[in-house]
Amino acid sequence: MTADPVATKHGCPFCNSEALRLWFISDVVHISCKKCGAQGPVVKLEFGMGKKTEAAEQAVAAWDRRPKPRKVKPLEDRLQENR
């Protein structure tokens, strides 16, 4: 098991941290946030992949592929509207 720092287009969707790690565990690769522990999708190392770098690129692409956050009114404002 190894963990390497990784650069992505987006930081952590939960805590906005840029402290991300790329984990190689047995035959899978995934990204996790060092600050809050959030994990991205797991990419399985397939037979015939040239190197771990191909799986790492897929893990980064999976981490970066997520919808943009929605703008949500604060809870207090929404409660006031329902009164």
The closest of 35, 26, 36 to 2, measured between CA atoms, is 26
Structural domains of the chain ordered from first start: 2-81 (2.20.25)
- Tell me: pLDDT of 2 over 70: no
pLDDT at 76: 84
| Cβ atoms of residues 34 and 20 within 8 Å | yes
| 25-66 residue pLDDT tens | 888 899 999 999 999 999 888 765 556 778 888 899 988 887
Highest mean pLDDT among 2-11, 14-23, 39-48: 14-23
Rounded Cα–Cα distance for residues 66 and 9 (Å): 11
- Tell me: pLDDT of 72 over 70: yes
pLDDT at 36: 92
pLDDT at 39: 92
